[in-house]
Chains A and B, each alone.
Chain A
Amino acid sequence: MIGLLSDFQSFLAVYPQKWPSWSYDITRAVVVTLKITAGAFALGLVIGLVVAIGRLSPRKSVRRMATVYVEITRGVPSLVILFLLYFGLVPLGIALDAVPAAILGLGISSGGYIAEIFRAGIEATHRGQREAGLTVGMSSFQIYRFIIIPQATRIALPPLVNMLITVLKDSSLASLISAPEIMLRAKDISSTDFLPLHIFLLVGVIYCLLALPLSLVARVMERKMFAGLGARL
């Protein structure tokens, strides 16, 4: 027992020793991870909104196209989409850099999920509430703006934050197309310092620290969905 404890202590002792030489690379890599996450999520929101509106369109052909988009992104791994964009476009003369390819690929794949989140939020408002808007004399744009969107946002926010966590985790895939984010740097370090367990555990902790506040926010929002958060006039 005591032996195990001292093993553990000497295991931990490596971190303060090594941190000075790691810190520069890792902090820069965290910034790249955040950049990819933010960019991909923003792109995903835009795609998601467009596709969600498409899925609720009165025109059948538009609905069909939006559905196909959702089903394809639901069925194909993000990593394959990344490879397609990064390696697959080269023979066609399009060579994307790793970070833009990662943002594009993760945005495309999260867009399908985000579309479903938006759609569920929009469909959650009862038809009667729209009719009440009509009887007051609202245009359909006003009904969307004052009745449907405020409620849909409130319903969609917790799953959206969870989606953001997923995008954060998926940004690690960008290392496999050599985007200089956390995982890639960690792999570099592990091959030079031969401390794979130390470095990958540290990376796990970093991801957790980035994700934890988000998942707390999501949890609080789920609880407060109908109280508070008043979208006031």
Chain B
Amino acid sequence: MFMDSLAYIGSRAPVYLEVLLQGAGVTVMITAGSFLMAVFIGLTLAILKTYRLSIVNALINVYVELFRGIPALTLLFICYFGLTYVGTRLNPLPAAIIGLGLSGGAYCTEIFRSGISALHHGQREAAAAVGMKPFMTMRYIILPQALRITLPPLGNYAVGLIKDTAVASAVAAPEILFRARNLTTETFDTAFIYLLVACLYFCMTFPIARWVDHLEKKKASQS
């Protein structure tokens, strides 16, 4: 009996995997899109913050504080269902990218801000002393170093983001989990299918998590 069901599952596994891997492609697209958006927002706002304009900084702080407190799922629903109220009907994929990108942007602002502020202000002064303008200082002195400092937290963010894309299934974006749900309604192999899904996500996140560990170990051994 047990062997029978094992054999059955074994015969179905390639079918499931094919469907889920198509979903993985969509997961990667959502991840890449919202990651780029989050990094763009985060970097822009973090640099803006260094100009110390009180109103701008206050607005940025409000954005960061608000979007860090709102669940990704809520943002997604605002983008997908909410905007229909003002006449905009987004497709699931752009809605997911924008929702995750906005909340990621708040997160990345904090990552880049702490990366930039970790650099000693003496470096700014030294750059000014050799005659660099603020823009050049940012471009050639601050950013290259800040980006290196922010690599581990950015990697951690990417891991979290891949996992968060699973919420896109709730607005019918055809990513891994959405396809898995469809499969389960057809076949009832729920345990097996969701375990496959878990493995798939793990395979996508594990290399990044390892890379982050490696970076952090390297940093620890240098200091």
Binding site for B on A (CB under 8 A): 71-72, 74-81, 83-84, 87-92, 165, 169-173, 175-176, 183, 186-187, 190, 195-198, 200-201, 203-204, 207-208, 210-212, 215
Contact = CB atoms under 8 A, between A and B. Distances in A.
Interface in B175-200: 177, 180-181, 184, 188-191, 193-195, 197-198
A196 B85 contact: yes
Nearest to A74: B209
Interface stretch (B52-60, B72-80, B127-135, B137-145): B72-80
A198 B81 CA distance: 10
B5 to A, nearest CB: 10
A80 B177 contact: yes
Given A170-B71, A186-B77, A204-B78, 7 more contacts: A76-B201, A81-B198, A165-B69, A176-B169, A187-B77, A200-B74, A203-B77
Interface string B183-223: 01000111101110110011001100100000000000000
A15 B167 CA distance: 28
Given A212-B65, A215-B69, A75 B205 contact: yes
A186 B81 CA distance: 11
B65 to A, nearest CB: 7
A80 B166 contact: yes
B159 A88 contact: no
A80 B85 CA distance: 31
A92 B188 CA distance: 11
A7 B52 CA distance: 34
Contacts of B78: 197, 200-201, 204
Contacts, number: 133
A97 B165 CA distance: 25
A181 B164 CA distance: 19
A186 to B, nearest CB: 8
A204 B77 CA distance: 10
B86 interface: yes
Interface size on B, as a range, is 35 or more
Interface of B: 65-66, 68-75, 77-78, 81-86, 159, 162-167, 169-170, 177, 180-181, 184, 188-191, 193-195, 197-198, 201-202, 205-206, 209
Contacts of A201: 78, 82
Given A172-B74, A196-B85, A204-B78, A87 B202 contact: no
A187 B202 CA distance: 30
B155 to A, nearest CB: 12
Contacts of A183: 71, 73-74, 77
B69 A208 contact: yes
B82 A200 contact: yes
A77 B85 contact: no
A104 B195 CA distance: 17
Given A76-B202, A79-B166, A173-B167, A207 B190 contact: no
A79 B193 CA distance: 14
Contact of A196 (B81, B190, B205): B81
A83 B177 contact: yes
Contact of A215 (B65, B73, B159): B65
Nearest to A204: B70
B158 to A, nearest CB: 12
B66 to A, nearest CB: 6
Contact of A175 (B73, B188, B209): B73
B194 A83 contact: yes
B199 to A, nearest CB: 8
Nearest to A109: B163
25 contacts: A71-B206, A71-B209, A74-B209, A75-B163, A75-B205, A76-B202, A79-B169, A79-B177, A83-B197, A88-B193, A88-B194, A88-B195, A169-B71, A170-B71, A173-B73, A195-B85, A196-B77, A197-B81, A197-B82, A197-B86, A200-B82, A204-B66, A210-B69, A211-B68, A215-B68
A75 B78 CA distance: 27
Contacts of A89: 191
